[in-house]
Amino acid sequence: MDKREAIGSWLSGPRAAAEEAGVDFGYRGQQLGLPEEGPGSIARPGRRLGALAVDWGMSILIASQLITQGYKAPATSNWALLVFFLMSVLTVGTIGFTPGKRLFGLRVVEVTTGQVKPLRALLRCVLLCLAVPALVWDRDGRGLHDRLAGTVEVRI
């Protein structure tokens, strides 16, 4: 093996090196039986982050309006996190999406049945609010919070 090939495989990462060796990873969501493109396919990270930003912005706005000037409340971010949590549990657990997800054309579904049950939504939202599980992704693009809850975020 040439030095350039070794350096190139190192720079491009282990996935590229494995693909050059003949390993077929398939597309994101193939293992879950989801389509590659279009409705029902796994949501892309940009859309997911956009939906999260909309939901977080709404939570901050609602929390800031709940706190009156005469009342000495904890930081707005604590209230915003509570509003975000409640909004996520109630909307994902009933209709499958938050306002931000709906705006970006996304829905949370259970991998096996297709509809999220309220307890799964609760588990998913608790893990999402902890933030760290949401930052650990698998090769299908699902966060650890989705894997543990048995859910996936798809395009609608």
pTM over cut 0.85: no
The model's pLDDT over 84-141, given as tens digits with 9 standing for 90+, comes to: 999 999 999 999 999 999 999 999 999 988 889 999 999 999 999 998 888 888 888 8
Q: Each residue of 57-76: pLDDT tens digit?
A: 999 998 888 876 545 556 67
3-state secondary structure of 84: helix
Give the DSSP letter of residue 149. H
- What residues does each domain of the chain span? 1-27, 31-155
CB distance 41 to 154 below 8 Å? yes
From 65, 121, 117, select the one nearest 98 (Cα to Cα): 121
Q: 1 or 51, which is more confident?
A: 51
Q: How many CA atoms lie within 13 A of 72 on its CB side?
A: 0
